[in-house]
A and B are shown apart, each in its own frame.
Chain A
Amino acid sequence: MSSVTQIAPTPVAPVAPRGRGRRRRTRQLGWNLLGLLVLAVMVFPVYWMVATAFKPGQQILSYTPHWVPTNPTLSNFRDAIHQPFFWNAVKNSLIVVSAVVALSVVLAFLASLALAKFHFYGRKAFIVLILGVQMVPLAALIIPLYILMSRLGQIDKLTGVIAMYLTFVLPFTVWTMRGFLLGIPKELEEAAMVDGATRFGAFVRVLLPLVGPGLVATSIFAFIQAWNEFIIAYVFLHTPAKQTLMVWLASFTTLRGTDWGPLMAGATLCALPVVVFFLLVQRRIAFGLTAGAVRG
């Protein structure tokens, strides 16, 4: 799960090469048509989910698809939230997500401070470790993790899941925070110190406000990861009342056969917070693992 979602830099529009005259205009038209087609194909599944969620049952169970929900209804949503354990799942997800976000931001900030502001023995090794550890497949770790957690008595407990999520988001959040800290010129802090602030004062007055966007970015990342994660929650949380939203959604069908309308309504509800946050990060904060990789 540590690497399902990555956030890349906001693209800067490059100057498109210019062609010539009328031929150029027809060619532009061709490209635009192709672009529209691609856009339609890419977005269609998401559209189909939302459209289905609003359709009454007989429009869903129809051999000829109804492309637009002509008589939109909220009954699917009503059904979805009346599914057993929906509110439990919401509560559990919120607990897990807020704990993971709070803890990961604090831990990542401390660690990245060490990596960005200090030179110490073992620094590079730690960086390599952080990058490398992100690559260890969760599917492989889940076996020993299960053994470990059962020894610690953390099976079927939210605390265990929180601890695991926290650890899995840490490498990326530390890495990202470090980038933000490195981006703050050393001179700013030094200027504050020359102006009479203590090292700690300089830290509180100068560094902390500037690193704000970094804190927001990492917490959104942690939020998305913890919200979306499935495997760990599925393996470690057995009691239905203790499961998170993604497990609830995944087991939706197995409870009552496949009831597509409420399922799509539930899926829409589960996706909504993440979609909103994602669109937020994309617009405001540009960071990512490949920024600057092109340079010479």
Chain B
Amino acid sequence: MNCTDFLAKLTDYFDGQIIDAELLAEVKEHLGTCHHCEVVVDTTRKTIDVYRGHQPYEFPEELSERLRAAVMTRCKASVSK
């Protein structure tokens, strides 16, 4: 397995979807011997983690309440017509 083959399997590897044991062994073997791919895996995982852990957009309760009130007003008006 070379780096291109490895990259093609990266999404499945992250998502735990490589079920074939032989393929998984090859992927892990490449990862154990290729520093570049090891760095790509580590930093890609970190990329996902940092986006998951730090929502860049705020959604304060005040906004939630305001939007919900507006939605429900529209919904109720539409049925009472």
The finding on whether chains A and B are genuine partners in a shared complex, rather than unrelated, reads no
